Structure 1
Amino acid sequence: MSIMLKVIQYLRDPHSNKIKKLKKEYQELDELSNIAVEIGDVAAYRSLQKEMRDVYFDYLTAIVVDALYNIVPHVLIIWLISIKFKTVTIPIIKYETSVFAAYMVGYLSFMLGRWMFNYIKPKLCAKTDIVGLAGLQKIK
């Protein structure tokens, strides 16, 4: 079962380990660079700054690739929906909007609702003794 969870985690966020490693390496180089400044070693400082630039650009590249991995499923979903429907009609006010706008509003509403739920859940669990209601668990 744990192998399955590792596979799912990797597919969900394939570059997280690389990003963490590069960030840690950059922080270590920054600390060494500060030490080189304190002791006045100009050659070591320049060498560390060059290596920091290389690590930083690798870090930025990994973040951009990770962002592309996160946005591709949304682009595919919008594309598949737009093949069938060119516009979406909002039923209450009879207003037509593009599939992209409707998807963005729906996605932002979902993210806002999830954020609000995660914000309210600990407060609700702390005030009540209800355990198991809608997946809520008491925080210890």
Structure 2
Amino acid sequence: MENFSKLLKFLRNPHRKKIEQLKVRYQELDDLSNVAVEIEDATAYKSLQKEMREVFFDYLTAVVVDSVYKLVPHVLIIWVISLKWQSITVPIVNWQVNILAAYLLSYLIINVSQLLSNPIKSGLSKIGFPGFSRSSVVNKI
């Protein structure tokens, strides 16, 4: 079961570790570059800037590959759905909507609702709205 969990985490975000390592390395190089400026060592500064550019482009490459990796399942879902239905009809107004537009709109609505749900729930719990009250249990460390 633990191996399945690790596999699922990897499939969800396979480039996370590499991106984090590149971020840390870039930050280290930036700090070293600032030290080189403070001690006025021009050759060390130039060398660090060159390495920073290389790390930055590796970071950008990893981010782009990760973005494409996250986009592929959505393209496959749209393709499979479009094999069955080319367009859908909105019931109230009888509009024909392309399946791509419908999928993108539903994806956008789901993500925006997830972003807004936590602030709304916390706001309702602060004013004491029934069903959204705060827990009386306090977690002690």
**TM superposition score normalised by structure 2:** 0.86
Residue equivalent to 2:95: 95
Residue equivalent to 1:77: 77
Residue equivalent to 2:42: 42
| Alpha-carbon RMSD | 2.2
Give, in whole Å, the separation in 2 of the partners of 1:9 and 1:118.
24
Question: Deviation of residue 83 (structure 1)?
Answer: 1.1
Give, in whole Å, the separation in 1 of the partners of 2:124 and 2:66.
35
SS of the aligned residue for 1:40 comes to: coil
Residue equivalent to 2:116: 116
Give, in whole Å, the separation in 2 of the partners of 1:116 and 1:12.
23
**TM superposition score normalised by structure 1:** 0.87
Misfit runs of 4+, over 6 Å: none
Overall identity of the aligned pairs, in %: 49
SS of the aligned residue for 1:89 comes to: strand
Residue equivalent to 1:31: 31
Output one character per residue of 1:19-53: Cα deviation in whole Å (capped at 9) or x when no partner: 01100100110110011011110110010011001
Question: Deviation of residue 84 (structure 1)?
Answer: 1.1
5+ residue gaps, structure 1, are none
The alpha-carbon distance between structure 1 residues 4 and 122, as it changes in their structure 2 partners (threshold 3 A), is farther
Question: Deviation of residue 5 (structure 1)?
Answer: 2.2
Structure (1/2) with the larger helix percentage: 1
